Structure 1
Amino acid sequence: MTKPIQQPLKKLELLFFLILISCLISCKKEIKADILIQNGTVYNGVDHIPNNLSIAIKEDKIIFIGDESSVSIKASKTIDASKLIVSPGFIDPHTHADRELKDPKTSHNLPFLMQGITTTIVGNDGDSFYPTEKYQKLYNEQGIGTNAVQLIGHHEILKAVVGKSDVEPTRDDIAKMQALMQKEMDAGAFGMSTGLYYAPGSYTNTDEVIALAKIVAKNGGIYDTHLRDESSNTIGLVASVQEAIQIGRQAKLPIHISHIKCLGVDVWHQSDSIIKIVEVAQKEGIEITANQYPYDASGTSLNAAVSPRWAESGGKDSLLYRAALPKFKEQIFKETKVNITRRGGPTKLLVVKCNDTTFLGKTLHQISKILNMPSEEAVYQILETGYVRVASFNMNSHDINNFMKQPWVVTGSDGNTGHPRKYGTFPRKYHKYVKQDGIIDLATFINGSTSKTADIFRIPNRGKLKEGYFADIIIFNPETFKDIANYKDSFQYAEGLEYSIINGKLSVENGEFTKKLNGKVLKK
């Protein structure tokens, strides 16, 4: 009696199951996207373990990231990222890319773009293009290849009120500088930068800097500093770090040390002491971070590297004038010789940019032989030719590796013409320090090149692969991503970047620049 009843029930159960499956398939959420990225190894910029996820982009935002089987995505373009790394676009906290961005011929920012950098922070070392608003308008009108975050340079405020000479500002001068700083913050600057090692910033005392930093703090900005001394030129490296902490403590704002290093034999192996000082300050509640470039040579102008600051008061012309006067030149040469020795000697200073090709690509030692004069005197003969940059080989691997491992140190290029870091910083850090030497792992590299930097500079909705965030995404080949630029030829683009998406638009496709200027000026 029961058998005839069971057979129809089984058929009904099967029919119900088929209807349910059909409903689940047809009821999947449908997503319409401009770009869909599939099959890549995805590092989201925060977590340590990657995932195989799909990412959908619509206009300038990430609208989906997850398991694609749960949704139905229809995209205008699909990128197969099999065997590739998918990451947030790199954010470079210390560049001099504004020099490229202001020129229509170079506003594509390719040296940075081809490294995987999607956002450059400009206006570092106390130098910025001023006023902020003027250059925002220029960048927006002509277009830029990467996003730009502007800092206002301390030097620009100084020059606008007291000039470039070594003079003590009055109370009225300080008030004027504070008013200018407020105006620049109102225009959208993310903070101020100082170059206390360089003139005219080197002429200011700590209290003067704090007075301006308090204006920045009131506006929720950051203090980005090239330390007063990265070696033993004046107050010393350790004291300079302590000065930065003092500024953060008294002005009550975040402190970011640009390109942290132990520069010169006098301060080698002081990284251990500096790390302890920073950790103590962090426990006190002071927010202090740093960036670092992965090279053993620094890069700066020749006069900044070895000339005495007092002799630069008034600018480079004043320096050369004093160096020719009998009453000054003996002292200038004496101090220059000491500074050359501090940097490891004349063989460690390589001229990488110079109007006179006779000197280009030669060490200071080689040039002194050509000119048949001591190295300290040759410096001023070289400076007569115009602006001169040098690569200064004055760091060691212990300090480089030590700083790199710290959770508060992020990647930064200090990209400047003549040094390979402008074209190779981020891929070099990956290729040498992740892949070859194993100093840090891949997730640490990516997180310290993306979300951590965004958090430090308070850049909203960037630096992570997350729904609702701006679609700044790169895809690179883990087997071929590396730097090519070197000290003999620093103008070589990095290799291995397959795709770069900036604000939801393709800037690099299949390893080639699309000639689209997809960057934006970001405002505080």
Structure 2
Amino acid sequence: MVAGRRSGGRRADRGWTDDAARAGFLGVRATILPALLALGAAPVPADLLIRGAMVVTGSAAPFTGDVAVRGERIVAVGPRLSMRATRTVDAEGLVLAPGFIDPHTHVEDQLLGTDARARLLERFLMQGVTTAFIGNDGGGEADVRAVLASAAARPVGINYASYTGFGTIRRAVLGDADRAPTPAELAAMKALAARAMCDGALGLSSGLYYAPQRFAKTAEVAAVAAEAGRRGGFYDTHLRDESSYSIGLDSAVEEALAIGRASGAAVHIAHIKALGADVEGRAPNVIARIEAARAKGQRVTADQYPWDASGTSLVVALVPGWAQADGRAAMLARLSEARVKAEMQANLRRRGGAEKLLVTSGPIDVKGRTLAQIAAARRLDPVEAAIAVITREDPAVASFNQSERDIRAFMARPWVMTGSDASTGHPRAFGSFARKYAVYVRERRVLDLAGFVTRSSTLAADTFGLKDRGRIAPGAFADLVLFDPRSYAARATYAEPERTAAGVRMVLVNGRVAVEESRLTGVAAGRALRRMPREGTCPA
């Protein structure tokens, strides 16, 4: 029998708890059962036996075999298990993998909202994603206790953990002001971050590209991130610049590494990319910088979505950061200034031109059209057309700005995990994991099956210390995805971004069947995952 090693990899300090108390007897049974099987004893029957699948454990080479589940845990794994089960599923020809873990999403509204159907997160379950992180890009709530408590009152379809956000914290203290905090204000920001960490946050997320976060200097960010670092947490960052908007891509990577060193927090770079014409082909340089830091012992990882278009808003794509200070009304008043228009023109060039910006939300006369098409229809210069649209609202856009060569270079690195950056109007919310498999494993062979599973589940579990998740092993939580390797693929497109993926046959979340025969069961078995801070760093 293939026992596998216990999941979790490196444990980060004291590890994790979830919102349901762990049943100690389950852990004991999970430990004893494999030994009983080896001795030929008749074990307690499994609730579910998945038989004959291509099992990708996350720890060893794929093999054809069986996995048994009882309660919320996997109790046995092997090439041919001789045990009774309440239910047996014939999985011949299918792949069984640990449930995928998405480290960068924007699904707070769905997970924490009042709509029970939305809280199931069908877009994720139909790809096999069973755990997601929220609060990214600096937008995480300061009150992490309330975020994590929500699942008890409003059941969710997947597991989730949350960052607290530098942007949220800074705005709570400074508003949208473009200035440095006073010592008292910085102390208030640090106190908010410390409380969030003690309440179970993953760490501090930032989005230094966005106003008002972009107004913060490196030392300010590091000081707040240190509250995460001293408690064993992470610094997750949307870099200050993924292109050539301000300090440049290379300098932005160096800034993130410097914040990690100064704060003591492990660094995680969100949706790693080289964005736009000015930095195309720079992936090897970024990789070299990060791997040099890793070689010196710094903890650095990243996530990536497998699409050539990023997702943002028209304001963020084109309006200079300084012009966004003090809120929307102040920004709109500046749009007529010659300097603003000149910088918007430069930013449009960085993005590859008006034909590279596809509006994915907003009124019917702009949604589904490129900025070039909108400008032609209105007989306006593209910048003037953009200003006209922004004056009405700030729509989401897909920005086609990444080269395939850079995408592949980042994807191949063993420290780059799969993520979706799931946001409205972009197909990545509904198809990132499925597309990565279909395009980069099955078609282009950039990764093999085991590499895909590792980057989509095990690497995140190990990096962030998700104990007993991210692997198929006795004792691990039964977060599992069973998919057809011939048909597993994204169906979402830029024209139809909200189509669920194809090819997933069954998904288990904490041992309960959430997807059956490619349909939601309606079961909400997810949990809020609270990260335990380093011992002695929080009030008792």
Q: What is the TM-score with the length of structure 1 in the denominator?
A: 0.92
Map 1:223-242; keep pairs closer than 5 Å. Answer: 223-242=235-254
Please name the residue that 2:349 is paired with.
341
User: C-alpha separation between the residues in 1 aligned to 2:391 and 2:110?
Assistant: 26
Partners of 2:287 and 2:462 in 1: how far apart?
Answer: 21
Paired residues for 1:86-165 under 5 Å: 86-105=96-115, 106-165=118-177
2:340 is the counterpart of 1:332:
yes
Query: Which deviations, in whole Å up to 9, do the C-alpha atoms of 1:15-48 show, x marking residues without a partner?
Result: xxxxxxxxx999533132221111111000122x
Match of 1:460 in 2: 467
Q: Determine if the alignment matches structure 1 residue 517 to structure 2 residue 505.
A: no
Aligned residues of 2:174 and 2:181 also touching (Cα < 8 A): yes
- Tell me, in whole angstroms, the C-alpha distance in 1 between the residues paired with 2:394 and 2:135: 19
Q: Structure 2 unaligned segments of length 5 or more: list them.
A: 1-36, 532-540
User: Residue 505 of structure 1 is aligned with which of 502, 512, 519?
Assistant: 512
By how many angstroms is 1:377 displaced?
1.8
Q: Could you list the per-position Cα deviations for residues 282-337 of structure 1 after superposition, in whole angstroms to 9, with x for gaps in the alignment?
A: 1111011111111110010110111100110122232112214xxxx111111001
Partner of 2:57: 44
Is residue 44–residue 50 contact of structure 1 (8 Å, CA) maintained in 2?
Answer: yes
Matches within 5 A, 1:244-283: 244-283=256-295
> Which of 483-492 and 139-148 deviates more?
139-148
> Which secondary structure does the structure 1 equivalent of 2:505 belong to?
strand
Amino acid at match of 2:432: T
Question: In 2, distance between residues paired with 1:230 and 1:27?
Answer: 58
Corresponding residue of 2:300: 288
Counterparts of residues 185-200 of structure 1 (less than 5 Å):
185-200=197-212
Q: Give the number of aligned pairs.
A: 493
2:86 alignment partner, one of 76, 85, 90? 76
Q: Is the 8 A contact 1:224 1:256 kept in 2?
A: yes
Aligned partner letter, 2:339? Q
* Preserved CA contact (<8 Å) 2:304 2:416: yes
| Greater relative contact order (Cα < 8 A, sep 6+) | 2
Residue type of the partner of 1:448? R
Q: For 1:362-381, what aligned pairs fall within 5 Å after superposition?
A: 362-381=369-388
Give the secondary structure class of the aligned counterpart of 2:408. helix
Deviation at 1:386, TM superposition (A): 2.1
User: 2: distance between equivalents of 1:80 and 1:496?
Assistant: 16
2:479–2:509 Cα contact (<8 Å) kept: yes
What code does the residue aligned with 2:277 have?
V
Q: 1:419-473 deviations in whole A, cap 9, x for unaligned?
A: 1100010010000010001111111011110110111222211101111111101
1:173 to 169, 179, 185: 185
The match for 1:16 is none
**Residues 185 and 219 of structure 1 are in contact (CA less than 8 Å); yes or no, is this contact kept in structure 2?**
yes
The percent identity for this pair of structures is: 39
User: What is the identity, as a one-letter code, of the residue corresponding to 1:436?
Assistant: E
Do 1:343 and 1:392's aligned partners in 2 also have CA atoms closer than 8 Å? yes
Note the C-alpha offset of 1:67. Answer: 4.2
Which residue of structure 2 lines up, in the alignment, with residue 428 of structure 1?
A: 435
Q: Per the alignment, do residues 398 and 27 of structure 1 end up closer, same or farther by CA in structure 2, a change over 3 Å counting?
A: closer
1:337 alignment partner AA = Q
CA contact (8 A) 2:204 2:233 kept: yes
Give, in angstroms, the shift of residue 103 of structure 1. 2.1
Report the Cα distance in structure 1 between the residues aligned to 2:427 and 2:39, rounded to whole angstroms.
54
Aligned to 2:495: 488
State the Cα distance separating 1:247 from its structure 2 match. 1.0
Take 1:460 and 1:166, find their aligned partners in 2: how far apart are those partners?
41
Checking the alignment, whether the CA contact within 8 Å between 1:98 and 1:129 is kept in structure 2 is: no
Q: Which amino acid aligns with 2:267?
A: I
The AA in structure 2 aligned to 1:379 is A
Q: Whole-Å Cα distance in 2 between the matches of residues 370 and 140 of structure 1? A: 51
CA RMSD of aligned residues (A): 1.4
**Structure 2 residue 47 is matched with structure 1 residue 34:** yes
| Structure 1 residues 61 and 26, CA gap change in structure 2 (3 angstroms) | closer
**1:5 alignment counterpart:** none
Q: Distance in 2 between matches of 1:276 and 1:85?
A: 34
Structure 1 segments (4+ residues) deviating >4 Å: 24-27
CA distance change for structure 1 residues 373 and 286 in 2, over 3 Å: closer, same or farther?
same
Displacement of 1:413 in angstroms is 0.5
Aligned partner of residue 281 in structure 1, secondary structure: helix
What residue number does 1:19 align with?
A: none
Structure 1: any 5+ residue segments left out of the alignment? 1-23
TM-score when normalising by structure 2: 0.89
Residue 358 of structure 2 aligns with an amino acid whose one-letter code is L
| Distance in 1 of aligned mates of 2:40 and 2:346 | 76
Q: Secondary structure at the match of 1:224?
A: strand
Match of 1:299 in 2: 311
**Distance (whole Å) between structure 2 residues aligned to residue 26 and residue 347 of structure 1:** 67
Which deviations, in whole Å up to 9, do the C-alpha atoms of 1:498-523 show, x marking residues without a partner?
A: 00000010000111100111111000
* Range with bigger deviation, 125-134 or 246-255: 125-134
Distance 1:301 1:26, change over 3 A: closer
Distance 2:220 2:181 in 1: 8
Pick which of 494-503 and 54-63 moved more: 54-63
| 1:83-119 alpha-carbon deviations (Å, 9 max, x no partner) | 1000000000100011211223211111111111000
Contact 1:123 1:193 in 2 (8 A): yes
Counterpart of 2:426 in structure 1: which amino acid?
A: H
For 2:497 and 2:282, the matched residues in 1 are separated by 29
**Partner amino acid for 1:107?**
R
3-state SS, counterpart of residue 31 of structure 1: coil
Alpha-carbon contact 1:86-1:474 (below 8 Å) kept: yes
Matched position secondary structure for 1:79: strand
C-alpha contact 2:148 2:161 (8 A) present in aligned 1: no
Q: Which amino acid aligns with 1:41?
A: M
What does 1:182-221 correspond to in 2, within 5 Å? 182-221=194-233
Q: Relative to 1, partners in 2 of residues 1:432 and 1:25: Cα closer, same or farther, differing over 3 Å? A: closer
